[in-house]
Amino acid sequence: MTKARVTVIDIAKAAGVSKSTVSLVLQGSSLVNEATRAKVNAVMRELGYVYNRGAANLRQAGAKSRIVGVVVNDLTNSFFAELAVGVDTVVQSAGFVQFLSNTGESIDRQREVVASMREHGISGLIVSPARATDAADFKPLVAAGIPVVVVVRNLPGAKVSSIVSDNRAGMVSAVKHLAGLGHKRIAFLGGFPDTAVFDDRLAGYRNGVDAAGLDYHEGFVISSAPSRAGGVEAIGKAIALGRRPTAAVCFNDAVAFGVCDGLRARRLEPGTDFAVVGFDDVIEAQAAVPALTTVSVDPQGIGRRGAQMLLKQINAGKAEAETVTTAVRLVVRESCGAGKSVTSKQDAV
Amino acid sequence: MTKARVTVIDIAKAAGVSKSTVSLVLQGSSLVNEATRAKVNAVMRELGYVYNRGAANLRQAGAKSRIVGVVVNDLTNSFFAELAVGVDTVVQSAGFVQFLSNTGESIDRQREVVASMREHGISGLIVSPARATDAADFKPLVAAGIPVVVVVRNLPGAKVSSIVSDNRAGMVSAVKHLAGLGHKRIAFLGGFPDTAVFDDRLAGYRNGVDAAGLDYHEGFVISSAPSRAGGVEAIGKAIALGRRPTAAVCFNDAVAFGVCDGLRARRLEPGTDFAVVGFDDVIEAQAAVPALTTVSVDPQGIGRRGAQMLLKQINAGKAEAETVTTAVRLVVRESCGAGKSVTSKQDAV
DNA sequence: TGACATAATTGGAACGTTCCAAATATCTAA
DNA sequence: TTAGATATTTGGAACGTTCCAATTATGTCA
């Protein structure tokens, strides 16, 4: 019902002190007498005071807004939702709040939300960039002293910190596992070739093929949209090949699910007639039938790690661009044809 | 590289006008001459000016921060992630940004994040409250003139707007469908009885049972955690009953998946030996085997609708508490034993 | 008691914007 | 040419906080 805002001045008047003292209390300064502190706090509760952070960071010019921006390219994908949760937990417990925006892979939208966040005075930004993001897009931010951490997809050329999972090592272990099961013809299915993640995973595939002493066939690399539909399409092409593969590592789990669909449509049972391995370990992977053998990347962990890195840089005041690749591990389930519920841990290099 | 912030005053000096004029340009006022506007805009671009919204809303006291707070109880649940995306799309295109926080069903955390959001001066709040949230918790907000929209779970007694799906009608149609397939003994499985959503869905179940001319057995209502594990537990109890049910409507899809697991563990095939219907229509529902018959509630739609309602109230300046229940429809797939991929639409009352 | 250190408090000025009332420039018609 | 209108521009004074330098209260020692 009270129309006007309660300000420090109101508190000061009611408590019989000066606004400066109230401010000191607000900041938990040790300068203020215990009795006055108690008094002031009591009055604040009584009048229903709410701190105006906007006014505060107007004064303390620097990056003290206690807001971190989080931008993800596809929140409907549970991988990124988990990532956001990971960020949120550490950000929250550090007393920050997060601006979360979804770009849906639109670079324009990404530009807009980043601009908006900047106007709101974020102290730092965590971003999983939309496809084909220009590395220069974040230049102004870092120039203004706002730390930026890029996650999941790295941005070659941008001088910012980044955290990506060890895509290469993950694929190596996936291929090795299949080779260990006796497969000689292993395909790489799905994904758009214009992304850094694709390059890494493909490189891992090639390494794995070499390491297993198998021949590398260019025809076994079949790209497609990184989606379920893309997986269906890719397996269709793979099966049409003369010497068809007997197993596949997939760009990600969505593709792997599509591959399973496509196999069944051709009366082939994934896991029995054809081995399938995914990448990401989304929640659905273990509930699916057959349960998906996949490379687990722990998106929440990446989110937490990214948030920690960002907070460190915010507190340090200066942003050393550092790059971290997080370990992944192969989770063996059923779709690769190995025994049920055997889990092999394999740390990445 | 430039150390100091660029302000309107810098722009004014460089453009040879007064700060007031620059401010006018910023607000797109029609008072300012076209030539000066162009000049000012050019200088702003040149100097890399970024608007300081914090300073702005300090002056224009009201709720013009263009921030909406979004609080959800479980972002790892794709239902709520979708909801957040729905909110984000309309909020973004209205030129607002969203603060998104996850409470993980913790009331303390919820209190914290709401307080923090308030300090940051949100213009409105959309919340899917944590379990056992006190309706009075949002009193201060509305008293301060900040519109609040509660979604998904309603908060009886709180004088705020709310959007919930038509839980009752959804359950009625689910039960009717099962009865139409010839089932006489239909159970209601899963969910915690202390929530309004549970009450609504249970009421719908009873209505449906009555409408189908069946007898209502108290023993057929078996509550449990609203999770996969809870579903396993509930179906176990149901099967142990003397006259066991032949079909079940479940509190939500997670429970339904658990029920399917539990059935298989007892060598019963869901869809063939026992009919299962879920609620929510999460993404996994159509990919599962058997595909889940369920009541679809379109979380993105709820998010969009909630955001629209909130923005309307923000713009109106005054918040009429209004309550909306959104229509749901039964999506018939395989787990109920009916034919494959037949979709019956049924609008809610 | 005086002198000095220490503890606690305090009034402006500043942060970057918007608003207001008032000033100036430009146009129109007599 | 001038009065009155209209179109544009403009200096302060806010907004709610923090910071600084300065002030006042309190304690200690000889």
A31 strand C contact, CB < 7 Å? yes
Residue-wise pLDDT tens digits, B175-208: 999 999 999 999 999 999 988 899 999 999 999 9
Within a domain: residue A206? yes
CATH code at position A47: 1.10.260.40
B177 and B283 both lie in a single domain: yes
B51 strand C contact, CB < 7 Å? yes
- The one-letter amino acid at B139: K
B243 and B201 both lie in a single domain: yes
pLDDT for the residue numbered A290: 80
- Two tokens, residue A112: 């807009």
Question: In chain A, which stretches have pLDDT less than 70?
Answer: 1-3, 61-63, 287, 289, 339-349
B244 and B304 both lie in a single domain: no
Q: Does B106 touch chain A (CB under 8 A)?
A: no
In whole angstroms, what is the distance from residue B178 CA to residue B259 CA? 16
Q: Does A240 touch chain B (CB under 8 A)?
A: no
Which of A2, A78, A143 is opposite residue B1, by nearest beta carbon? A143
A142 and A189 both lie in a single domain: no
Which of A81, A101, A287 is opposite residue B81, by nearest beta carbon? A81
- B315 CA, D6 C1': separation in Å? 32
Provide the β-strand partners of residue B148. B125
CATH code at position B258: 3.40.50.2300
B42 and B91 both lie in a single domain: no
Handedness of CA A261, A262, A265, A267 (dihedral sign): negative
A124 and A136 both lie in a single domain: yes
Q: Does A269 touch chain B (CB under 8 A)?
A: no
Q: What is the mean pLDDT of residues B135-162?
A: 92
Residue-wise pLDDT tens digits, A183-217: 999 999 999 998 889 999 999 999 999 999 999 99
- B56 CA, D13 C1': separation in Å? 15
A58 CB burial (10 A radius; 0-12, 13-18, 19+): middle
CB atoms within 10 A of CB B349: 9
Task: Check whether the bond before A290 is cis (ω within 30° of 0).
Answer: yes
Residue nearest to nucleotide D15 (CA to C1'): B59
Is the Cβ–Cβ distance between B276 and B260 less than 8 Å? yes
A149 CB burial (10 A radius; 0-12, 13-18, 19+): buried
pLDDT for the residue numbered B339: 60
Which of B51, B95, B101 is opposite residue A97, by nearest beta carbon? B101
- Two tokens, residue B110: 């919820």
B54 CA to centre of own chain = 29
**A322 to chain B, closest Cα gap in Å:** 20
Q: What is the mean pLDDT of residues B43-71?
A: 90
Q: In chain B, what percentage of residues exceed pLDDT 70?
A: 94
In whole angstroms, what is the distance from residue B285 CA to residue B265 CA? 20
Q: Does A46 touch chain B (CB under 8 A)?
A: no
B172 and B294 both lie in a single domain: yes
In whole angstroms, what is the distance from residue B334 CA to residue B318 CA? 48
pLDDT for the residue numbered B117: 94
Indicate yes or no: CB of B121 within 8 angstroms of CB of A53.
yes
- A20 CA, D17 C1': separation in Å? 10
Handedness of CA B105, A102, B138, A40 (dihedral sign): positive
Per-residue pLDDT for B2 more than 80? no
In whole angstroms, what is the distance from residue B258 CA to residue B242 CA? 22
Within a domain: residue B174? yes
A198 and A235 both lie in a single domain: yes
Within a domain: residue A61? no
Q: What is the mean pLDDT of residues B19-41?
A: 95
Residue of chain B whose Cα is closest to the Cα of A58: B55
Which of A85, A140, A143 is opposite residue B75, by nearest beta carbon? A85
Q: Count of alpha carbons within 13 Å of A349, Cβ hemisphere only?
A: 8
* Backbone Cα Rg of chain A: 26
pLDDT for the residue numbered B331: 96
In whole angstroms, what is the distance from residue B155 CA to residue B200 CA? 13
Give the best residue of A46, A92, A228 to mutate against chain B (max B CB count within 10 A).
A92
In whole angstroms, what is the distance from residue A238 CA to residue A270 CA? 14
Domain that holds residue B179: 167-298
B118 and B213 both lie in a single domain: no
A56: nearest nucleotide, CA–C1' criterion: D17
Q: Does A270 touch chain B (CB under 8 A)?
A: no
A9 strand D contact, CB < 7 Å? yes
Indicate yes or no: CB of A284 within 8 angstroms of CB of B287.
yes
Tell me which residue of A30, A129, A180, A284 sits closest to B77, measured CA to CA.
Answer: A284
pLDDT for the residue numbered B154: 87
DSSP-derived secondary structure letter, B160: S
Query: What 3-state DSSP class applies to B205?
Result: helix
User: Across the beta sheet with B148-151, what order do the strands follow?
Assistant: A323-326, A161-165, A148-151, A124-127, A67-72, A97-102, B97-102, B67-72, B124-127, B148-151, B161-165, B323-326
In whole angstroms, what is the distance from residue A225 CA to residue B302 CA? 29
Which residue, B252, B283, B298, sits at the end of a domain? B298
Q: Does B211 touch chain A (CB under 8 A)?
A: no
Q: Which uninterrupted H or E stretch holds B203?
A: helix B196-211
Residue of chain A whose Cα is closest to the Cα of B73: A85
pLDDT for the residue numbered A344: 37
Is the Cβ–Cβ distance between B257 and B226 less than 8 Å? no
Within a domain: residue A1? no
B121 and B73 both lie in a single domain: yes
In whole angstroms, what is the distance from residue A201 CA to residue A250 CA? 9
**A 280-319 residues inside an 8 A Cβ radius of B:** 283-284, 287-289
Q: Which window residues (203-242, chain B) lie with Cβ within 7 Å of strand D?
A: none
Per-residue pLDDT for B94 more than 90? yes
Instruction: Give the model's confidence band at B63: pLDDT under 50 very low, under 70 low, under 90 confident, else very high.
Output: low
CB atoms within 10 A of CB A338: 17
**B 121-140 residues inside an 8 A Cβ radius of A:** 121, 140
In whole angstroms, what is the distance from residue A145 CA to residue B150 CA? 38
Q: Which window residues (40-69, chain A) lie with Cβ within 7 Å of strand C?
A: 55, 58-59, 61
Within a domain: residue B143? yes
Q: Output the 3-class SS for chain A.
A: CCCCCCCHHHHHHHHCCCHHHHHHHHCCCCCCCHHHHHHHHHHHHHHCCCCCHHHHHHHCCCCCCCEEEEEECCCCCHHHHHHHHHHHHHHHHCCCEEEEEECCCCHHHHHHHHHHHHHCCCCEEEECCCCCCCHHHHHHHHHCCCCEEEECCCCCCCCCEEEEECHHHHHHHHHHHHHHCCCCCEEEECECCCCHHHHHHHHHHHHHHHHCCCCCCHHHEECECCCHHHHHHHHHHHHHCCCCCCEEEECCHHHHHHHHHHHHHCCCCECCCEEEEEEECCCHHHHCCCCCEEEECCHHHHHHHHHHHHHHHHHHCCCCCCEEEECCEEECCCCCCCCCCCCCCCCCC
Within a domain: residue B289? yes
pLDDT for the residue numbered B3: 53
- B315 CA, C24 C1': separation in Å? 36
Within a domain: residue A188? yes
Query: Strand D: which positions are within 7 A of a protein CB?
Result: 7-12, 14-21
- The one-letter amino acid at B345: K
From residue B145, how far is each of B58, B138, B285 by CA, in Å?
17, 11, 41
Residue-wise pLDDT tens digits, B3-26: 578 999 999 999 999 999 999 999
**CB within 8 A of A316, min separation 6: which ones?**
none
B34: nearest nucleotide, CA–C1' criterion: D8
- A236 CA, D13 C1': separation in Å? 73
Question: In total, how many domains does chain A have?
Answer: 3
Residue-wise pLDDT tens digits, B255-292: 998 999 899 888 898 999 999 999 999 877 876 768 89
Instruction: Give the model's confidence band at B345: pLDDT under 50 very low, under 70 low, under 90 confident, else very high.
Output: very low
Instruction: Give the model's confidence band at B222: pLDDT under 50 very low, under 70 low, under 90 confident, else very high.
Output: very high
Within a domain: residue A59? no
- B31 CA, C20 C1': separation in Å? 15
A31: nearest nucleotide, CA–C1' criterion: C8
B202 and B141 both lie in a single domain: no
Residue of chain A whose Cα is closest to the Cα of B118: A50
Indicate yes or no: CB of A92 within 8 angstroms of CB of B101.
yes
B129 and B211 both lie in a single domain: no
In whole angstroms, what is the distance from residue B308 CA to residue B306 CA? 5
